[in-house]
Amino acid sequence: MATLKFTNGYWLTRKEYDVNSPAEAFEAEKDGKTLNVYAPYKRINTRGDELNLGMSTIKLTSPVENVIGVKLTHFDQDTKGPSYELNNLDPDVNIDVTDKKASLTSGDLTVSLPLRQQFDMEFTANGKVITASRNKAQGEILNHDTNVHYMREQLSVGVEDKIYGLGERFGNFIKNGQEVKITNQDGGTASEQSYKNIPFYLTDAGYGVFVDEPQTVDFEVTSENVDRVQFSSEGESLQYYVIYGPTPQEILHRYTELTGRMQLPPAWSFGLWLTTSFTTDYSEKTVLKFIDGMKDHNIPLDVFHFDCFWQKGFEWSNMEWDRDEFPDPEGLIKKIHDRGIKVCVWINPYIAQKGKMFEEGKKNGYFIKRENGNLWQWDLWQAGNAFVDFTNPDAVKWYKSKLKALLDMGVDCFKTDFGERIPVEDAVFFDGSDPKREHNYYTLQYNKAVFDTIEENKGKGEAVVFARSATVGSQKYPLHWGGDALSNFKNMADTLHGGLSFLSSGFAFWSHDIGGFEDGPDTPTPDLYKRWTQFGLLSSHSRYHGSNVYRVPWNFDDEAVDNTRKFVNLKLSLMPYLYTQAAHDTTYGNPLMRPMWFNFTEDRTAHTLDNQYMFGTQLLVAPVFNPEGHVNFYLPAGKWTSIINDDETYDITDGKWISKDYGELDLPVLARDNTILLRNPKAVHADYDFTKDLDINLYDMHEGSTSVAVVDQKGQDTGKVTVDRSGNQLTVTTTGLTGSATIYVHENGKVTKAALNGTEATITL
């Protein structure tokens, strides 16, 4: 998994490589809204210098305002698919070419190059240089031992700049100093590998960079060259985009404008998901026992998930129920639906040799093949696995027909597992796609097929998958979970780091296996189970899952039952806030869970935090990552009040670290000042009328007017609450709310309760 390195220290090139870099921008020309720059690999002083010399063509464009595309080309060769589907909004640009300089401006972002001088390409925003491709940063590179060609770029980094993103990565949240290989792998959550590799990084210097290459891209993040972020890939060209914000919210907004807008999952998906776990024994009797057990313990449940063994062993994923354990699946699904619970089943795109689907797929040419015409098979995961070839339109229709049959039975959604171990060597795709480009791209084709099938059958806004793998554009097909975590506190924290990294990479929704997946010697202890439950139910989506141990809370201890009930009810009560935040974030291209620095860009300490997060714009969550219940968390300046314990309040002047112990049913969940938090503590499912019978919680409201919207179950703005403060008097005005509403004013550690009479109330403190 080593990344590509081309240099031997700063001065020398590694012996196997020949590196050519543009020495100057020799000529530039405007072509409509494109600026073409020609950059030879040595300075041109005489006509003779133009002979026997290579050069890069640098094509500068702008598909979205404040986004500049850069394509570096050595030899202009046709590329076999696939390619990411990008949106071109065709903004106005200003291109200026003089004898001394060439530039392209889109919005507030400008790229400029001096002509006939030492090569330099600067990106400026509002007159300030944000990054640059300096002399010898770009490279046209040949490995003369293997005859493989690469293209390289290096973009400068400022003294205090921090780099985030690059997909779901379980190491340090800040990527400075790291080597990152963008290639999807099934490596668990305790390694350098990742299920979700996104060639996009975000900086706290006001910009992001997206490398538009679906094949493997190697990033050296201030590592090989400590002053620069280097990215390189095999081939004769390299396309990337510099995206100006300057806020992280604006950067992600423009990134998703370019690569595809997020979609809002249905409201019911935000409730608790319970699974059979993986290798446990389960049948209709077991499933109903668990579902009814949750009801008996007064724990609300929204989704039940059947993992792999809803099908017979050795036959995954043939889309057929194991009739020995589930003789009447339609009847079982109806029983679950009658209890008010949705049904999810596990699938993957690998088809085992033992099963009807394999024979159908083989006969009709629906699988990836080898160059000799045989199927590409191996025994990893299931015996004789073949891979559905989603470049074949008929294979897609066939696969979707199998899903539709399950949807017709009553299945509501699918857990789309795997999609990472897609063959590259000796692999042939139906449409002739380059296997090296297909490897990462495959997950997009797979999850799109599943998502589209659900949407076609259930209706717009009702589709959701529970996916493990992802690539650029996968944000259009939510949602994703973190993969196979280890059942220990350290990997629980690693899981959060991976989630924050992923959510900084253009994704809105994310979940993880509550309790950790890999049991083995690390079977979750009751304290780990309880702490992970809190973290899980304070994530955008919440699912219990494990390998060989059932994850029902009564298997741990009585306090685990109380803990689960408490935090399920907390999350359900918060749905008017959460779904409104989610709907608005999705529209703008932002995550529901987000790193602290997103909301506190002026607080430099917040830029380093990765063991806590903001849940929407108004709530801070700091999970407990140890059995002692000890938490060190940081509060930016402002007033903070616990939404769990009203007597936990903080008035912070300049930002402060807090060190505190929490009981097993408690953790820091704090509302910031000037928060209007809408809740319904009587909710029993995640999908309900978010405008009805609300508690209106007001936290240290500021002088003047503050308002929040509330959405309906489809994510459309329906109601509004406005608070006008003048001194000690608060006037609360509402529109679009129904039923009764109670107002709770939280201020200086005290709670004042008032009723809403009609649509307005005045409270004097």
User: DSSP per residue over 654-671, as a string?
Assistant: S-EEEEEE--TT---EEE
> Judging by DSSP bridges, how do beta strands 101-106 and 109-114 pair with one another?
antiparallel
Distance CA 653, CA 66 (A): 35
Helices (H) and strands (E) in the chain, counts: 11, 47
DSSP conformation class of 70: E
Catalytic residue from among 213, 420, 610, 666: 420
Give the Cβ contact number of residue 625 at 10 Å: 21
Give the Cβ contact number of residue 293 at 10 Å: 17
- Annotation says 647 is catalytic: no
Burial of residue 289 (CB within 10 Å: 0-12, 13-18, 19+) is middle
> Judging by DSSP bridges, how do beta strands 342-347 and 303-306 pair with one another?
parallel
Q: Could you tell me which residues come within 8 angstroms of residue 393 by beta carbon, excluding any fewer than 6 positions away?
A: none
Q: Could you tell me which residues come within 8 angstroms of residue 271 by beta carbon, excluding any fewer than 6 positions away?
A: 300, 301, 302, 303, 542, 568, 571, 572, 685, 686, 687
Q: CA angle 462-468-472, nearest 5°? A: 85
Distance CA 66, CA 76 (A): 27
- Annotation says 522 is catalytic: no
With contact defined as beta carbons under 8 Å apart, do 160 and 74 qualify?
Answer: no
Cα distances from 361 to residues 64, 133, 423, in angstroms, run 41, 49, 17
Distance CA 55, CA 590 (A): 40
Distance CA 443, CA 638 (A): 43
- Here the tokens at position 347 are 């699938």
* Sign, Cα dihedral of 392, 395, 396, 397: positive
With contact defined as beta carbons under 8 Å apart, do 686 and 302 qualify?
Answer: yes
Residue type at 531?
R
Q: What is the largest CA-CA distance in the chain?
A: 88
Q: Report the DSSP beta bridge partners of residue 155.
A: 229
3-state secondary structure of 526: helix
Distance CA 426, CA 586 (A): 40
Closest of 265, 163, 68, 23 to residue 608, by C-alpha: 163
Residue 254: φ, ψ to 5°: -75, -35
* CA 514 to chain CA centroid, nearest Å: 18
Q: CA angle 262-202-155, nearest 5°? A: 135
Distance CA 512, CA 189 (A): 11
Distance CA 590, CA 73 (A): 33
Give the Cβ contact number of residue 292 at 10 Å: 12
Catalytic residue from among 250, 257, 315, 417: 417
| Active site positions, annotated | 417, 420
